[in-house]
Amino acid sequence: MVITDDCISCNACIDECPNNAIYYPGTEYELDGKSNPALSDDHPYVVQELCDNCKNCMDVCPTDCIIE
């Protein structure tokens, strides 16, 4: 899943993700016990290694800005 620049940062996807794979903009993420820099400072982002492609985020996105 990828969140495009059409995102309005409503953050609905973050709350909906069962795998905690979506992070707030500018927020570091943890993977394999290591802290990593944010992948986006502009809008929420998906850590692909944590995403299982359940599409819950796509279902709640009001702007349809999350793509596969």
pLDDT of residue 55: 97
Ranges of each domain in the chain: 2-48
> What is the pTM for the complete model shown?
0.92
Q: Which tokens go with 56?
A: 């819950």
pLDDT of residue 48: 97
For 4-53, write each residue's pLDDT tens digit. 999 999 999 999 999 999 999 999 999 999 999 999 999 999 999 999 99
Q: Give the separation between CA 43 and CA 26, rounded to whole angstroms.
A: 8
pLDDT of residue 28: 98
Residues with Cβ within 8 Å of 32's Cβ and at least 6 positions away in sequence, in order, are: none
Q: Give the separation between CA 28 and CA 58, rounded to whole angstroms.
A: 22
Locus of tokens 């999350």? 66
3-state secondary structure of 18: coil
Q: Which tokens go with 51?
A: 């995403």
pLDDT band at 56 (very low <50, low <70, confident <90, very high): very high
Locus of tokens 């349809």? 64
